[in-house]
């Protein structure tokens, strides 16, 4: 999984690395500038970003094994600042070359750079 995750993590945190918990196989620590930090102590935005990058990496692994799965993000990145959202859009673009990604959001401006097909739900009065 790290082979797929590391390039995506580098978009947000160049030179950073993730430590994986042996029992859960999920990220447990983020090392930046030589300092390892447990995910629990990181900001909500950073934890959210790592969680999304992990989902993208797993989706890439499924696709590589011939079993592609869509990635669905519902109101993602609510704890992320504009610069991080921009970097995450780069990671989403990279993954979307080979994967289907659905982003459900009411924050159209924050995700405008993603492009793609936009579907809208409209309720009409009867």
DSSP 11-58: HHSTT-EEEEPTTT-SEEEEEETTEEEEGGGS-HHHHHHHHHHHHHHH
Note whether residue 21 is domain-resident: yes
Q: Which run of H or of E encompasses 2?
A: helix 2-12
Domain harbouring 54, CATH code: 3.40.50.300
Alpha-carbon span 17 to 15, nearest angstrom:
7
Please give the tally of structural domains in the chain. 1
Q: What distances in angstroms separate CA 25 from CA 39, 47, 63, 67, one per listed residue?
A: 14, 16, 19, 20
pTM: 0.84
Position 91 scores a pLDDT of: 92
Residue 76 lies in domain: 2-114
| Ranges of the chain whose pLDDT falls below 70 | none
């Amino acid at each position: 999984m790290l082979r797929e995750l590391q390039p995506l993590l580098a978009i947000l945190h160049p030179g950073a690395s993730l430590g994986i918990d042996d029992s859960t196989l999920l990220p447990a620590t983020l090392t930046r500038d030589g300092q390892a930090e447990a995910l629990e102590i990181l900001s909500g935005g950073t934890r959210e970003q790592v969680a999304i990058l992990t989902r993208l990496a797993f989706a890439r692994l499924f696709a590589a094994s011939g079993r592609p799965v869509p990635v669905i993000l519902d109101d993602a990145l609510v704890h992320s600042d504009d610069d991080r959202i921009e970097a995450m859009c780069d990671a989403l673009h990279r993954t979307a070359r080979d994967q289907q990604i659905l982003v459900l959001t009411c924050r159209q401006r924050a995700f405008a750079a993603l492009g793609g097909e936009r579907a809208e739900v409209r309720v009409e009065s009867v």
